[in-house]
């Protein structure tokens, strides 16, 4: 089996969910690395600006925290 049999959730079965669970567990093992890579990639590309997207993100969160914004 290389993909689920259903196209609508109501048509799924136990075998589909066992298959999905196995894939999701494997996928989550690399989650931290993928998130860190995405974060560090914000510091690359789009030359010509005064700050990178990473720098802009840091500026934005700093402003929000200084304004007392809710962390959520």
Give the residue-averaged pLDDT of 3-30: 94
pLDDT surpassing 80 at residue 45: no
Q: What is the pTM of this model?
A: 0.57
Does the CA dihedral 32-33-34-39 come out positive or negative? positive
Give the residue-averaged pLDDT of 43-68: 91
Retrieve residue 34's tokens.
């993928």
* pLDDT score at 13: 96
Retrieve residue 68's tokens.
């007392």
pLDDT in tens, 60-69: 999 999 999 9
CA 44 to chain centre: 18
Rg (CA), the chain: 20
Burial class for 53, CB neighbours closer than 10 Å (0-12, 13-18, 19+): middle
């Amino acid at each position: 089996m290389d993909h689920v049999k259903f196209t609508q959730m109501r048509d799924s079965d136990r075998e589909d969910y066992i298959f999905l669970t196995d894939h999701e567990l494997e996928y989550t093992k690399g989650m931290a690395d993928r998130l860190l890579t995405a974060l560090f990639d914000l510091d690359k590309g789009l030359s010509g600006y005064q700050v990178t997207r990473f720098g802009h993100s840091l500026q934005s969160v700093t402003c929000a925290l200084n304004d007392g914004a809710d962390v959520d």
